[in-house]
Amino acid sequence: MEKATFAAGCFWHTEEVFWQLKGVLSTTVGYTGGTVQNPTYKDVCTDKTGHAEVVEITFDPKKITYEELLAVFWGIHDPTTKNRQGSDIGTQYRSAIFYHTPEQKTKAELSKKNLEQSGKYKKKIVTEITKATTFYPAEEYHQHYVAKHGSAGCPR
């Protein structure tokens, strides 16, 4: 089993897409990439912790590849908007790939380069590709939120 961690705006909707994929064994929403230990949702929403809302995915690479997960990641958000997805604004909503291995880093960089060269976007892709650091699971009520409550917008 392997892990993948992506930030693509509100983690509720990002998780909803990934946990339905064949080969994904589990998803957990949470926070990573910041400087505050054990942040809460309230902390992260201050836009002062440096953390992004992320989904950490455990997957079986024999059933779904990291490249396939990257393709889904690129397809579910706008990677050209800095610190924003739709009406959600702040560094916690940035586009980022947090790699767990050197191989993931290489694959993420190549997929970003290929997308940039494809001409799909007129604006520059601003997605960060960063080494995964400590992952802090979000509060229980955020886990599988869309499955439990529907697809209402992310809270503020």
- The gap between the terminal CA atoms of the chain, to the nearest Å, is 34
45 assigned to active site: no
Task: Give me the catalytic one of 4, 7, 8, 10.
Answer: 10
What strands, in cross-sheet order, belong to the sheet with 24-32?
128-131, 95-99, 2-8, 52-59, 24-32, 136-137
Of residues 100, 111, 102, the one with CA closest to residue 70: 111
For the annotated catalytic residues, the residue numbers are: 10
